[in-house]
C-alpha cells in the first residue's frame, strides 16, 4: 500500500473526502501525514479525529521557505511518503520539495486550467462572466497551477449562478474526482508517468 501525505491550509473538505474513502476501502492508500501551514485550521481537527499524524507549522517562525520545506521533507522521508496530495494548500511548492518529489506531487484546482489560476478561481470565473468552469487535477511544478494536467471536469455556469451555488457544485465534483484519480494513480503505479488528460 502506498503512503500519501495531504497538504492543506484550511477547511480540509477534500482531505475529509480522501479520509472517508480510505476508511471505506475504496481508496487503497495509507494517509501517513497531514502537512498544514496554518495552526488552528480545521483540517488539523479532521486529522486528529481520524488518528492521522500531522506536521503543523507557522511559516512566520522560519526565515525562508527553504527552512520549513527542509523540515517537511524530513517528515515525508520518515513517513516513507510516495505521493504528495495538495488539497487547498495555499503556497507554491519550492525547490527543496520539488527536487525530491517532482512528478509525485498533485494538486486540485477549482477552474479549467490554464484559465483562472491562483487565488479565488471561482470568483475570477464569475467576474469574467465565463460560461464554463470546472475542476483540474494536475502535477505540480515550479509555477502557479501550471503543471501537466491529469484530468479536468467541466461545469456550466448558469445565468443565476451565485458564488455559493458554484462553489457547492465544484466541491461536489472535487470530492468524487480526487479520490478516484488517486486510486487510479496509486493502484496502477503510474504516479510518476501518467500524463493522460480526460476532459468531460
Q: Which residues bind ligand GRF (CB under 6 A)?
A: 8, 10-15, 87-88, 108-110, 174
Looking at the chain, the number of H-run helices and the number of E-run strands are 6, 7
Closest separation between CB of residue 43 and ligand GRF, Å? 7
- Among the options 28, 109, 138, 175, which is catalytic? 109
Give the number of other CB atoms < 10 A from CB of residue 119.
9
Residues with Cβ within 8 Å of residue 44, at least 6 apart in sequence: 34, 36, 54, 56
Q: How far apart are CA 137 and CA 123, in angstroms?
A: 19
Cβ 145 to ligand GRF shortest distance, Å: 9
CB of 163 to ligand GRF, least distance (A): 12
| Residue number with CB closer to ligand GRF (46 or 104) | 46
- In terms of phi and psi (left: phi > 0; alpha: psi -120 to 50; beta: otherwise), the region of 158 is beta
* Residue 175 known to be catalytic: no
- C-beta of 96 vs 111, nearer to ligand GRF: 111
Question: Which residue's CB is nearer to ligand GRF, number 13 or number 192?
Answer: 13
- Residues 6 or more apart in contact with residue 120 via CB below 8 angstroms: none
The CA-CA-CA angle for residues 19, 192, 154, to 5°, reads 60
Taking the complex as a whole, the smallest distance from the CB of residue 15 to ligand GRF amounts, in Å, to 6
| Separation between Cα atoms, residue 166 and residue 174, nearest integer Å | 12
Would you say 92 and 144 are in contact if contact means Cβ atoms under 8 Å apart? yes
**Measured from the CB atom, is 14 or 96 closer to ligand GRF?**
14
Which positions are catalytic? Answer: 109
Amino acid at each position: 500500500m502506498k503512503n500519501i501525505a495531504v497538504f492543506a491550509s484550511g477547511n480540509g473538505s477534500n482531505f475529509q473526502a480522501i479520509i472517508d474513502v480510505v476508511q471505506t476501502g475504496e481508496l487503497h492508500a495509507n494517509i501517513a501525514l497531514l502537512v498544514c501551514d496554518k495552526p488552528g485550521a480545521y483540517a488539523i481537527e479532521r486529522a486528529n479525529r481520524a488518528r492521522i499524524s500531522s506536521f503543523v507549522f507557522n511559516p512566520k517562525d522560519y526565515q525562508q521557505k527553504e527552512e520549513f520545506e527542509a523540515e517537511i521533507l524530513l517528515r515525508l522521508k520518515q513517513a516513507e511518503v510516495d505521493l504528495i496530495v495538495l488539497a487547498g494548500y495555499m503556497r507554491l511548492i519550492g525547490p527543496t520539495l520539488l527536487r525530491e518529489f517532482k512528478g509525485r506531487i498533485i494538486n486540485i484546482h477549482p477552474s479549467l486550467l490554464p484559465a483562472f489560476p491562483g487565488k479565488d478561481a471561482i470568483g475570477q470565473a464569475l467576474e469574467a462572466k465565463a460560461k464554463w468552469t470546472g475542476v483540474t487535477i494536475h502535477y505540480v511544478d515550479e509555477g502557479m497551477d501550471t503543471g501537466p494536467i491529469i484530468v479536468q471536469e467541466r461545469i456550466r455556469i448558469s445565468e443565476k449562478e451565485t458564488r455559493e451555488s458554484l462553489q457547492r457544485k465544484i466541491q461536489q465534483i472535487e470530492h468524487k474526482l480526487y479520490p478516484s484519480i488517486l486510486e487510479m494513480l496509486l493502484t496502477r503505479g503510474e504516479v510518476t508517468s501518467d500524463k493522460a488528460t480526460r476532459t468531460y
